[in-house]
């Protein structure tokens, strides 16, 4: 079959835009999928198709598309104060109010909030603050940060180093020094024969302690973790995981950084993933659903010990030399205030908790398909891991072909999902209704059948 000619819009795209997470060489022949508008859980493309957006864009449009309250809040702020900054002690009420709300809602006590523009910037800031903190305490060697294999924390230089995914490192000369990784807490893939979830968690905790001892506890500043590992494949921690990890961190005076960029603001059925999985962090990163994705904004919340160190060190130096031009942008903060108000007044976390069993039921049912190794979920985020069998020990060879084929089959059936390698992720807007959950999953079995047929023809099964 001859490749279809690109439209004028597609040609303009391939001649001008570098697309993230895209095979750029292939993109020049295939062209972009152009979207034009959205409402609630749906987006419309330039071919007139209405598609279920089963990934909330990039895990972030938790309140769906074209929410009038968010739009009105943005317009009102643009009329009032379209831009200002927080440098040099300047401030404005939306930033103050949003910081107050974040402190109020987070489950462990936080003292201050620093604003940035993206999750990557927030996690870069976390590392800089950990270094700053230990310098303030006279511990210049305590600077190493431990992440996890398959963890995702962004793509700026240090955030990409924290990220434990090979394609974020290859040919970028990453990770940088001071960054280390410990094992992925994926029970289905990583457990030994006969090992319970609690035993698996204990083994991973021991691996972490061994790594700390090998590096030297006096050199390790922090451990960073997502409650659910999102872009690594929607990996949900096993029973007892954080309960086993946290005493080790406390033992060696290592700070726990909670990356709530995907899990925050109701996604797991609680306000924050830390609540769902029993985390007690000293700092937390927020982005994505912080504004319902309507405006770029991120934040870092820190505890009193960090706030005291920031005060003391900036007094010594004469300035806190860190910040972003758009960090705490009044537009983002105003929309963030409204988003948090909506999460509260519409009872979004409770709504997610109520819908979660129906969402999980579909994934459990679909996990019986021969092409699916495991189905997993928490709240309204979940995945189907495609595999040659259900052992948890085998993978497709080569990898990262079956997943993209399944993604294409779902798109052909009117649903946008995301292939993370050979894992198919689902993360719909949290305003989705029960019948829409059913509609989102309705074409999955047919798409799995078509993908399995193709995989057999390609010699992958």
d(CA 303, CA 103): 10
Question: Contact 339/324 with Cβ under 8 angstroms?
Answer: no
- Mean pLDDT score, 4-28: 94
CA-atom Rg of the chain in angstroms:
22
Phi, psi of 233 (to 5 degrees): 125, 25
- Mean pLDDT score, 229-234: 98
pLDDT tens-digit map of 244-282: 999 999 999 999 999 999 999 999 999 999 999 999 999
Q: What is the mean pLDDT of the chain?
A: 97
Give the per-residue pLDDT at 410: 98
Give the per-residue pLDDT at 412: 98
DSSP string, 19-50: -TTS-HHHHHHH----EEEEEBTEEEETTS-E
Question: Contact 224/162 with Cβ under 8 angstroms?
Answer: yes
Give the per-residue pLDDT at 204: 98
Task: Show the domains of the chain with their CATH numbers.
Answer: 33-66+347-457 (3.90.1150.10), 70-345 (3.40.640.10)
Task: Please name the residues in contact with 218: beta carbons below 8 A apart, sequence gap of 6 or more.
Answer: 139, 141, 142
pLDDT band, residue 4 (cuts 50/70/90): confident
- Mean pLDDT score, 319-335: 98
In this prediction the pTM is 0.96
pLDDT tens-digit map of 165-220: 999 999 999 999 999 999 999 999 999 999 999 999 999 999 999 999 999 999 99
pLDDT tens-digit map of 124-133: 999 999 999 9
pLDDT tens-digit map of 272-301: 999 999 999 999 999 999 999 999 999 999
């Amino acid at each position: 079959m001859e490749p279809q000619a690109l439209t004028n819009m597609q040609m303009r795209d391939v001649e001008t835009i570098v697309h993230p997470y895209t095979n750029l060489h292939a993109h020049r022949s295939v062209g972009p999928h152009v979207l034009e508008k959205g409402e609630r859980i749906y987006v419309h493309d330039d071919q007139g198709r209405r598609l279920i957006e089963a990934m909330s864009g990039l895990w972030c449009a938790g309140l769906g598309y074209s929410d009038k309250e968010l739009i009105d809040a943005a317009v009102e702020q643009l009329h009032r104060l379209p831009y200002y900054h927080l440098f040099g002690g300047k401030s404005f009420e939306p930033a103050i109010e949003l910081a107050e709300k974040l402190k109020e809602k987070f489950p462990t006590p936080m003292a201050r909030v620093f604003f940035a523009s993206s999750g990557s910037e927030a996690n870069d800031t976390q590392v800089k603050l950990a270094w700053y903190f230990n310098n303030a305490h006279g511990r210049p060697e305590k600077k190493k940060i431990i992440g996890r294999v398959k963890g995702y924390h962004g793509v700026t230089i240090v955030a990409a180093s924290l990220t434990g995914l090979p394609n974020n490192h290859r040919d970028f000369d990453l990770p940088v020094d001071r960054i280390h990784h410990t094992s992925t807490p994926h029970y289905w893939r990583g457990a030994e024969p006969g090992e319970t979830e609690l035993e698996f968690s204990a083994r991973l905790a021991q691996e972490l302690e061994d790594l700390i001892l090998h590096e030297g506890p006096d050199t390790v500043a922090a451990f960073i973790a997502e409650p659910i590992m999102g872009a690594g494949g929607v990996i949900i921690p096993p029973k007892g995981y954080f309960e086993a990890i946290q005493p080790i961190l406390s033992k060696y005076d290592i700070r726990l950084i909670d990356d709530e960029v995907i899990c925050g603001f109701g996604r797991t059925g609680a306000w924050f993933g830390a609540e769902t999985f029993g985390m007690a962090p000293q700092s937390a990163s927020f982005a994505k659903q912080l504004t319902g994705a309507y405006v770029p904004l991120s934040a870092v919340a820190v505890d009193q010990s960090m706030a005291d160190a920031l005060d003391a060190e900036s007094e010594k130096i004469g300035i806190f030399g860190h910040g972003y031009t758009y960090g705490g942008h009044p537009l983002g903060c105003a929309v963030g205030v409204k988003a948090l108000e909506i999460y509260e007044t519409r009872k979004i976390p409770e709504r997610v908790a109520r819908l979660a069993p129906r969402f999980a039921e579909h994934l459990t049912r679909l996990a019986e398909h021969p092409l699916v190794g495991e189905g997993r979920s928490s709240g309204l985020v979940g995945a189907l891991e495609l595999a040659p069998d259900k052992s948890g020990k085998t993978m497709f060879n080569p990898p990262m072909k079956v997943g993209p084929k399944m993604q294409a089959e779902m798109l052909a059936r009117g649903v946008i999902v995301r292939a993370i390698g050979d894992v198919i992720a689902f993360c719909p807007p949290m305003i989705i209704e029960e019948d829409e959950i059913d509609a989102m999953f309705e074409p999955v079995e047919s798409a799995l059948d078509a993908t399995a047929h193709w995989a057999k023809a390609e010699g992958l099964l």
